[in-house]
């Protein structure tokens, strides 16, 4: 009998690597028992990452979801695990220490056993508190090595990084191959090196399928000492997801490993339920391209889970850039043209930004900067002229030290913009917030919940929680879902017959006399509706134009005070923000003066070159 290999089902990540949403709590509860009955899983990933934010977005209470969803696994003795982002907790931006500490204690009480903690830059310093707080809260502290393939991310780099994580308090190690671009032999060498130095530590391998390496990488990890292999299952395996349970199970058994038997009838039941959830509403949020593997991503190294948003961004940016090209009598680009330009630009940008691991959120930053560079260059402008504030935070050290060196051109750019580099502990930049949010809840008459779980949600996801409490989140979700259903129904319907051409002349007979008349159609169907200009001709001054399309915000954080009419500003001052591709981009004024008018509202959708603010 060969070495025993345990299997973990990453049911949360299966959904979030494929689309936007997770199933509702009633659906999760239904699928829990059949997952248990499959009989071969020692662990199930139930929550973490974007799980709770997603619940809020479609109007569900995530605390109820976590408690009910984990209960069956707790009762069956199957360990549950969550994904957390270190300094960011379970959101995309950093949080205070008090909120991080509450999270681990709360999640354990709600039924989560293991915290898989990763830092986007692989900084041990940022994860030390995660390991400490997880253990204090009664959870198992697992440190995840975010796998990236680059000149600085070598086999030795990862083996040494595991040493540092264990020294900081990690009780287990996960090889987090989030883009699936870890070369299989290198994955094996990393696992072997960690195993030789730490014979008794649990090592878990997590790999995505997108480029095609993950099945072989799973085998190499097992052969070199991994204890647990993560896998997915149909209809959400492969593609941007994970290797399928059936393939992993059979491969390991053929290689001589001892793996638990599986109940195929239960497997088919979980498969059918998962498909039922897709057909119910979740499929409207799954990009069909995410169901395909794509070896093009080996080059840029971007995570497959980004492909849905990447292709959506690409389509929007293609429309924008082709509008500019048409306006300037230049040939248009195809989507493939733009994709190749983007991938080439990632190869240029990534090393110059210090080789941040291409994992959330830094993979998005690298992709967004690359996209902006491509857009600017197509329009004859230089690189780096549109750099979002989130990326600047990473560059300046506000998330910790980058693995590689910044290029001189980036350092010069920071100096030109009078931006200061930070070398302290990133956690010190983000103060405690729980007292502040507790007071807000008291003012609103809101209960902080069992074990302060509602306080936790509000402090972790303020805007989404307020939308959830008001009912606006559910209303907006249902409205969006109906639009998607209608669009799908329209796409599936047969094309309508072409309307008969409307005559421009007509012969009529009046009292026996024939007359030829011409006809005007001022309200003719198909005539373009007049576009309402966002400019304001009544106020004289210099307009500040939108640098790109997105959502307009006067502030980037709820605690900030936005600019208002009458404020004095200088040339180069940040006056507002545009959220595009999940990050905030500063809108700066080309001139100094006084704000005479603000032409758009906080939260409005804007197009590139829209007039936003008048300065006089």
Give me the chain's average pLDDT, please: 88
Which of the four pLDDT bands, split at 50, 70 and 90, describes residue 513? low
CA–CA gap between residue 187 and residue 255 (Å, rounded): 17
The confidence score (pLDDT) of residue 514 equals 52
Tens digits of residue pLDDT in 425-437: 999 999 999 999 9
Residue, of 42 and 372, whose pLDDT is higher = 42
Question: Domain map of the chain by residue range?
Answer: 6-291, 299-420, 542-615
CA–CA gap between residue 287 and residue 292 (Å, rounded): 10
User: If you average pLDDT over residues 382-396, what whole number do you get?
Assistant: 90
Q: Is the pLDDT of residue 576 over 60?
A: yes
- Candidates 3.40.190.10, 3.40.50.11540, 3.30.70.260, 3.20.20.70; correct CATH number of 6-291? 3.20.20.70
CA–CA gap between residue 97 and residue 104 (Å, rounded): 11
Q: Is the pLDDT of residue 251 over 70?
A: yes
State the CB neighbour count (10 A cutoff) for residue 418: 7
Task: Name residues whose C-beta falls within 8 Å of residue 412's C-beta, 6 or more positions apart in sequence.
Answer: none
The confidence score (pLDDT) of residue 526 equals 35
Task: Name residues whose C-beta falls within 8 Å of residue 609's C-beta, 6 or more positions apart in sequence.
Answer: 545, 546
Of 361, 557, 460, 402, the residue nearest 96 (C-alpha): 460
The confidence score (pLDDT) of residue 516 equals 53
% pLDDT > 70, the chain? 90
Task: Name residues whose C-beta falls within 8 Å of residue 441's C-beta, 6 or more positions apart in sequence.
Answer: 447, 448, 454, 455, 458
The confidence score (pLDDT) of residue 505 equals 52
Residue, of 525 and 302, whose pLDDT is higher = 302
Tens digits of residue pLDDT in 525-559: 333 333 334 444 567 889 998 887 788 888 876 66
Tens digits of residue pLDDT in 5-16: 999 999 999 998
Domain 542-615 has CATH 2.40.50.100: yes
CA–CA gap between residue 41 and residue 46 (Å, rounded): 13
Task: Name residues whose C-beta falls within 8 Å of residue 336's C-beta, 6 or more positions apart in sequence.
Answer: none
Q: Is the pLDDT of residue 496 over 80?
A: no
% pLDDT > 90, the chain? 62
Residue 48, classed as helix, strand or coil, is: strand
Rounded CA Rg of the chain: 27
Tens digits of residue pLDDT in 452-468: 999 999 999 999 999 99
State the CB neighbour count (10 A cutoff) for residue 260: 15
Of 175, 197, 188, 227, the residue nearest 42 (C-alpha): 227
Of 54, 50, 52, the residue nearest 85 (C-alpha): 50
């Amino acid at each position: 009998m060969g070495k025993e290999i345990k299997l973990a089902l990453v049911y949360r990540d299966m959904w979030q690597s494929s689309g936007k949403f997770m199933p509702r709590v009633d659906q999760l509860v239904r699928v829990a028992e059949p997952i248990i009955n499959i009989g071969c899983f020692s662990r199930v990933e139930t929550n973490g990452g974007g799980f709770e934010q997603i619940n809020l977005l479609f109007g569900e209470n995530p605390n109820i979801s976590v408690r009910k969803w984990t209960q069956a696994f707790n009762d069956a003795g199957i360990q549950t695990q969550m994904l957390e982002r270190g300094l960011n907790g379970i959101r995309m931006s950093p949080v205070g220490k008090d909120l991080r500490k509450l999270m681990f204690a709360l999640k354990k009480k709600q039924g989560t056993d293991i915290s898989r903690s990763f830092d986007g830059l692989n900084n041990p310093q940022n994860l030390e508190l995660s390991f400490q707080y997880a253990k204090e809260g009664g959870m198992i502290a697992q440190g995840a090595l975010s796998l990236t393939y680059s000149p600085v991310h070598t086999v030795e780099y990862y083996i040494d990084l595991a040493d540092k994580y264990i020294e900081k308090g990690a009780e287990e190690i996960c090889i987090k191959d989030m883009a699936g671009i870890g070369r299989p032999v290198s994955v094996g060498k990393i696992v072997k090196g960690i195993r030789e130095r730490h014979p008794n530590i649990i090592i878990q391998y997590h790999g995505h399928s997108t480029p095609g390496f993950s099945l072989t990488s799973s085998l190499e990890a097992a052969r070199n000492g991994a204890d647990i292999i993560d896998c997915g299952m149909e209809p959400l395996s492969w593609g941007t997801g994970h290797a399928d349970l059936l393939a992993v199970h059979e491969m390991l058994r053929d290689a001589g490993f001892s793996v638990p038997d599986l109940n195929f009838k239960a497997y088919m039941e979980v498969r059918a339920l998962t498909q039922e959830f897709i057909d119910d509403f979740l499929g409207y949020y799954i990009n069909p391209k995410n169901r395909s593997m794509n070896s093009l991503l080996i080059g840029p190294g971007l995570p497959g889970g980004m492909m849905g948003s990447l292709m959506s961004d690409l389509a929007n940016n293609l429309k924008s850039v082709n509008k500019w090209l048409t306006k300037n009598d230049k040939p248009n680009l195809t989507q493939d043209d733009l994709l190749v330009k983007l991938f080439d630009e990632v190869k240029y940008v990534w090393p110059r930004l210090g080789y941040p691991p291409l994992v959330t959120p830094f993979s998005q930053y690298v992709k967004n900067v690359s996209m902006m560079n491509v857009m600017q260059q197509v329009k004859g402008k230089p690189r780096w002229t549109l750099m979002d504030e989130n990326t600047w935070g990473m560059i300046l050290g506000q998330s910790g030290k980058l693995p590689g060196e910044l290029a001189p051109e980036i350092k010069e750019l920071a100096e030109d913009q009078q931006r200061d580099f930070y070398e302290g502990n990133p956690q010190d930049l983000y103060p405690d917030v729980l007292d502040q949010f507790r007071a807000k809840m008291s003012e609103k008459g809101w209960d902080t919940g069992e074990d302060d779980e509602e306080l936790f949600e509000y402090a972790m996801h303020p805007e989404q929680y307020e939308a959830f409490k008001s009912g606006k989140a559910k209303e907006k979700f249902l409205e969006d879902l109906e639009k998607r259903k209608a669009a799908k129904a329209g796409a599936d319907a047969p094309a309508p017959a072409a309307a008969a051409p409307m005559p421009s002349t007509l012969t009529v007979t009046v009292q026996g006399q024939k007359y030829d008349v011409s006809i005007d159609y001022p309200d003719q169907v198909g005539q373009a509706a007049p576009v309402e200009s966002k400019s304001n001709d009544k106020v004289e001054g210099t307009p500040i134009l939108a640098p790109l399309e997105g959502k307009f915000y006067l502030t980037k954080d709820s605690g900030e005070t936005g600019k208002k009419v009458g404020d004095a500003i200088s040339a180069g001052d940040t006056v507002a923000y545009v959220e595009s591709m999940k990050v905030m981009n500063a809108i700066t004024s080309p001139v100094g003066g006084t704000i005479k008018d603000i032409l758009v509202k906080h939260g409005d959708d804007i197009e590139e070159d829209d007039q936003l603010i008048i300065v006089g």
